[in-house]
Structures are given as C-alpha cells and as structure tokens.
Amino acid sequence: FKGPTLIYTSQAPGPPKTHVVFLKVHKSASSTVMNILFRFGETHNLTFALPVSGASQLGYPRYFLAESVEGFTIGNTLQFNIICHHMRFQQAQVQRVMPSSTFYFSILRNPIHLMESSFTYYKGCSPFSRAQSLEEFLSQPARFYNSSAPDSHYAKNLMAFDFGFNHNGNFSAKHMQLMLQYIEEAFDLLLLSEYFDESMVLLKEALCWDLDSVVSFPLNSREGSTRSPLSESTAEKIKSWNRLDWAIYRHFNRTFWQRIDWSMGRERMQQEVRMLRERREQLAKTCLQGEGSVGPRKLRDKSLAPLQYGKATILGYNLKPGLDEVMGRLCRRMVTPELQYSRSLYRTQFPEKAQRIYKPAHPLELHNGKMG
C-alpha cells in the first residue's frame, strides 16, 4: 500500500450495484447499515422506496405491501433503487416495486444478545411490561407472553417474524430446513452484526462499492450502563425460546464464513477490515468532538438527537465546529439518526407532500433537511 489514496478507494471490479433491498431486522446494527444506504443513495442521486405519508416504517408489523411505498402505483415508471425501512418481508410484494436485477441482503444478530437488547428497548411492549427482568420473563414465559398480542413478536423469534415467518410456529426439522432454504434463495447476502466490519467488507465486495461508501459510526446504540450480562442458563433459555431465530443464526453464521473463504480468503479480509477501521478512526478524528458517542443530555445540536425509546439510553454524536462544506456534509450525514435522515430524503423526493406532512417545521429540523 503506497498511501491513503490507494488504500481508501479499494473497490471490487464492475459497476456499482444501485438496486438494493435491505431487510432491516430489528436490534441488529441495522440502523447503521441504513445510514450507509441513505448516504450512498443520496450521494448517487438514487430514488428510495419511502413509506407512504412520511411514516418511519413500511406498514410494519403487517406484511409489506407495494402500496405502502410513497409514489408506487400499478404500471407507473417511477424506478425505485433502494428499500431499507423496517418491513415484514413478503417477496412477491417487494418484487412489484423493485426490478428483477435487485440485490437482496439483511443482517442477523445472535438471538441471545438480540433478546437482551429487545427486553430493554421494548420494555413497554405487552410481553415484557410486567416482567421485572429478562430472567423472570424466561423462567415463566407463559405468565407474561400472549401469542396473539399484536406486539408479541418483539419477545419471540423477532428475526423469523421480520423475514415473514410465524414467530409462534412450532416448526418441525423439515419446516426449519424449508425456512432456511427460502431465506437462502430470496437473499444474496446475510451479514452478522457481531462481525460488523467483516460484514461491511463483504457488502462492499458484493455491491462493487468503494470503502468510503461502507464506513460508518455506530448509530442507535445503547449506553453501556443499560446492558446486563447474562448467565449461561439464561442464554440457554433464550436459545430454546427463540428456536427459529437460533436456527437462522446458526445456519447463516456458517455460510458467512464460507463466503469469506471462497470469495476473498481470511488474509485479504483481515487487510480490508484493517483499512476500514483506519478510515473510521480517521473520520472520527475529523468529524467528532471527543471522537465518540455521547448521551442525549450532552448533545449540543438537538436536531441530531436520536429517538429515545423504552428503557434504553440511545447515544448520539457532537460534530466538530468549523468543518469545511464538503467534510461538514459528510460528517453530518454519518451522524444523522434515521428518523431525521428519512424525513430529509422524503422532503427531497416529495417536496410538496412533505410541506403538508411536516408543517410547521422546527427551524433546526429544516436546517437538517437541507443536508444535500
């Protein structure tokens, strides 16, 4: 490597892919991936399949319908490039919106960590609201869990639900196999949030994007004080309670490493991960005050404040003052939480509708809406 210019433009051969579907699985670093897609789409002037009326989700938790996309009408020629908002996957409906050449991917998380995170984040949901702790919930799930409650999926097999399966299903081994086969056939790439940097390198390679397109700062992450360590017996209970999610995770954890081995090898992967981390550190030094995330009270620019939800404390970032225009725009995009960023994209694509929906706009939010 001769110098930073060579290092940071490493790009897989071929034209960059610009038709992308990202199934945003809950609590799996998916907000950070969404920010990457928002930035790429905005930089390359792509069209997003945004939720109708400026909503934040595509009809979730109901199954995705093409009609939940703003601007979708049967037979219209409006070409969508990227879908990345929360949806419950329904392939036939997504195919009504996106061309057949579209690249499909998603990101998974170990169900043990996923459930610990969900318990804090979705504490107000009916299955968790009365349980004092995750341990108490798992010791007698039947006391707290009602399978017919509309928000029950947050407490059981949340990944399977997002992929479109029955989260309460008592699947036989054969059905489990069919479920995994379906996901494998529908998606080109399944990433793992525990190996986020390796995942971003795989994504960059698969989409033929450059390194800067997949560099990110963690978004929507929790403050450490709200995380609780889990005992081994709790972890085992989580695995059996979320047996569909555990099957999905185990299977795609295996295929993830297989893909690295056949597509690039471990050694090149390590080099690419090192370059990605160097670039992130470099951008953190340039963009961020104190180079790290801060709690909501310490955020100076309230237009960059992430949504606080449940019992979790969600962290945000303070930007360095005095950045030049180009750097300022890049840094700001990298730290803009998903709700504000989504709103900004909606304003760009549907300016007239946005005026009606977001009226009267907060002056800070308006400023945020002019990032491009």
- CB within 8 Å of 307: residues ≥ 6 apart: 314, 337, 339
Question: Is 6 within the bounds of a domain?
Answer: no
Count how many residues are written for the chain: 372
Distance CA 292, CA 281 (A): 10
Question: Is 369 within the bounds of a domain?
Answer: no
In this prediction, residue 128 carries a pLDDT of 96
In this prediction, residue 6 carries a pLDDT of 32
- CB within 8 Å of 338: residues ≥ 6 apart: 31, 34, 35, 38, 56, 219, 220
How many domains are there within the chain? Answer: 1
Within 10 angstroms of residue 343's Cβ, the number of other Cβ atoms is 21
Question: Is 3 within the bounds of a domain?
Answer: no
Distance CA 309, CA 222 (A): 10
Question: Is 367 within the bounds of a domain?
Answer: no
Question: Is 11 within the bounds of a domain?
Answer: no
Question: Is 363 within the bounds of a domain?
Answer: no
Closest CA to 29 of 296, 338, 340: 338
Question: Is 138 within the bounds of a domain?
Answer: yes
Q: Model's pTM, two decimal places?
A: 0.91
Residue 66's domain spans which residues?
20-358
- Express each pLDDT in 230-288 by its tens digit: 999 999 999 999 999 999 999 999 999 999 999 999 999 999 999 999 999 999 999 99
Distance CA 358, CA 372 (A): 18
In this prediction, residue 226 carries a pLDDT of 61
Question: Is 121 within the bounds of a domain?
Answer: yes
pLDDT along the chain (372 residues), means of 10: 36 85 95 97 97 96 97 80 98 96 97 94 92 95 96 97 96 96 98 98 98 94 73 96 98 98 97 98 94 88 85 88 95 96 96 86 42 34
- Express each pLDDT in 160-193 by its tens digit: 999 999 999 989 999 999 999 999 999 999 999 9
Residue 197: CATH number of its domain: 3.40.50
